[in-house]
């Protein structure tokens, strides 16, 4: 009976997706409340972006640190600790009387919320081989589903009672949702399956002529490039719509549309990756994202922004999950949590850098046009790196492991 790609693997995938949808909410909540924070604390656009930037820095570090913890202690322990950290961070944020205190609370929220991204992606990757691409894509979609569903669901509460009430509600939801479900993931992969996965990844690593550490750093640089580009629409679309006179609710709708498109993109990319592998899939997604960023430059009307936001979501959703697939194709399986976590950390640092950078460019220029151009240039760096890697690597097809 197969250990990987088994009925249990798919059940575990479903539970993991639900956990990811809850745990990732901390990453997106700050984007929705950003205009309210800007107004409450009288901050400029760059300063108002600081809580988001700290969230993403925490999210980045958490992907690496919690990924290592999963390698050592298992997913249940990591999820329980992280859920407690998310709830504590939301609680501290409600007490903040300055944007700097809020930023510190968001750092904790971001760090703990990371458990719902890279660490869960790494965990589910052990349970699939033949369908690893779609499995990783579905778990990664939990991040986008969280961003698409929660902002819309919480919009009424945000308008009626303010952002602090929203944060109290999210703290409670995280505790009662994540911790009980984490105990359903206690089962571990048999040792034989781990050894087989290790052998396959070492063979692929030799074909690239790069050590795991060197490849890890190269992927990290590529991740920064693509995600500086990705952050411009995702982080600033609400503020952009406020500037254009459409209001934050319209911006939230565009963000939700963008992220729902990203979910579809991730699923399709997962299916493509099962046929083409991670490197080619990532290159396709990066090229499409670059095209979508160009489309934002002439767009300013309401309808055109909705359309381009959907196109952007459909273009870029499969990029970040592809990094996890490349890690699993080329790096030791026993280090999956730490290796995937490092590369995810780099992509998120790119989001944090891009979010702040776009706000700074806006403050200097009074427009987001140069911020879009900045994203296009960073996107070009990502494409160049992936073309170089593709030219020198020939990964072997994986095989399903049995007990």
Residue 254 lies in a domain: yes
Q: 215-238, pLDDT tens digit by residue?
A: 888 999 999 998 998 888 888 888
Q: 317-365, pLDDT tens digit by residue?
A: 888 888 888 888 887 777 777 888 888 889 888 887 888 888 888 888 8
Q: What is the reported pLDDT for 202?
A: 56
Residue 381 lies in a domain: yes
Residue 1 lies in a domain: no
Inter-residue contact 104 to 89 (CB < 8 Å): no
Give dist(CA 2, CA 131) in Å, integer: 13
> Within 10 A of 301 (CB to CB), how many other CB atoms are there?
12
Cα 333 to chain centroid distance, Å, stands at 21
State the average pLDDT over residues 269-289.
89
Tallying the residues shown for the chain, one arrives at 403
Inter-residue contact 355 to 238 (CB < 8 Å): no
State the average pLDDT over residues 158-166.
85
Q: 324-334, pLDDT tens digit by residue?
A: 888 888 877 77
Inter-residue contact 19 to 142 (CB < 8 Å): yes
Inter-residue contact 296 to 312 (CB < 8 Å): yes
DSSP string of 169-199?
Answer: HHHHHHHHHHHHHHGGG-----HHHHHHHHH
Query: Is residue 148's pLDDT more than 60?
Result: yes
Backbone φ and ψ of 131, nearest 5°:
-115, 30
Nearest one of 212, 218, 236 to 381, comparing CA atoms: 218
Q: 22-38, pLDDT tens digit by residue?
A: 999 888 888 778 777 77
Structural domain of 127: 7-391
The C-alpha angle 360, 362, 363, rounded to 5 degrees, equals 65
Residue 175 lies in a domain: yes
Q: What percent of the chain has pLDDT over 90?
A: 25
Q: What is the reported pLDDT for 3?
A: 76
For the ranges 175-179, 207-211, 309-313, which has the lowest average pLDDT? 207-211
Nearest one of 71, 200, 181 to 123, comparing CA atoms: 71
Residue 398 lies in a domain: no
Give dist(CA 349, CA 341) in Å, integer: 12
Domains: count for the chain = 1
Give dist(CA 238, CA 218) in Å, integer: 32
For the ranges 6-20, 60-74, 385-399, which has the lowest average pLDDT? 385-399
User: What's the maximum distance between 2 C-alpha atoms anywhere in the chain?
Assistant: 62
Residue 267 lies in a domain: yes
Residue 403 lies in a domain: no
Mean pLDDT of the chain: 84
Q: What percent of the chain has pLDDT over 70?
A: 91
Q: What is the CATH number of the domain that holds 263?
A: 1.20.1250.20
pTM of the model: 0.79
Residue 290 lies in a domain: yes
End-to-end CA distance of the chain: 6
């Amino acid at each position: 009976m197969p250990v990987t790609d088994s009925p249990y693997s798919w059940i575990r995938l479903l539970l993991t997706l639900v956990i990811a949808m809850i745990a990732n909410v901390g990453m997106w909540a700050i984007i929705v409340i950003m205009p309210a924070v800007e107004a409450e604390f009288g901050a400029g656009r760059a300063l108002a972006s600081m809580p988001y930037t700290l969230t993403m820095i925490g999210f980045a570090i958490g992907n690496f640190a919690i990924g290592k913890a999963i390698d050592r202690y298992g997913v249940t322990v990591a999820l329980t600790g992280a859920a407690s950290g998310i709830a504590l961070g939301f609680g501290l944020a409600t007490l903040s009387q300055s944007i700097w205190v809020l930023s510190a609370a968001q750092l904790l929220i971001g760090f703990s919320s990371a458990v719902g991204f890279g660490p869960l992606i790494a965990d589910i990757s052990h349970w699939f081989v033949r369908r690893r691409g779609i499995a990783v894509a579905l778990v990664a979609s939990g991040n986008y589903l969280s961003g698409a569903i929660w902002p819309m669901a919480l919009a009424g509460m945000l308008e009626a009672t303010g952002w602090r009430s929203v944060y109290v509600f999210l703290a409670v939801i995280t505790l009662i949702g994540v911790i009980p479900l984490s105990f359903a993931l206690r089962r571990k992969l048999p040792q034989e399956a781990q050894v087989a996965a290790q052998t396959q990844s070492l063979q692929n690593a030799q074909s690239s002529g790069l050590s795991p550490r060197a490849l890890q750093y190269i992927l990290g640089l590529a991740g920064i490039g693509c995600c500086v580009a990705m952050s411009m629409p995702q982080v600033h679309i609400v503020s952009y719509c406020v500037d254009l006179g459409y209001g934050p609710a319209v911006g939230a709708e565009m963000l939700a549309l963008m992220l729902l498109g990203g979910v579809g993109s991730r699923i399709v990319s997962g299916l493509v990756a099962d046929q083409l592998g991670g490197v080619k899939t990532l290159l396709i997604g990066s090229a499409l994202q670059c095209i979508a960023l160009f489309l934002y430059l002439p767009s300013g009307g309401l309808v055109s922004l909705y359309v381009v936001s959907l196109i952007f979501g459909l273009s870029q959703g499969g990029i970040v999950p592809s990094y996890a697939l490349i890690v699993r194709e080329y790096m030791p399986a026993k280090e999956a949590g730490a290796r995937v976590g490092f590369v995810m950390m780099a992509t998120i640092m790119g989001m944090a850098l891009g979010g702040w950078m776009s706000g700074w460019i806006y403050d200097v220029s009074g427009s987001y046009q140069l911020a879009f151009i900045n994203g296009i240039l960073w996107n070009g760096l990502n494409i160049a790196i992936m073309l170089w890697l593709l030219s020198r690597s020939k990964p072997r097809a994986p095989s399903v492991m049995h007990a």
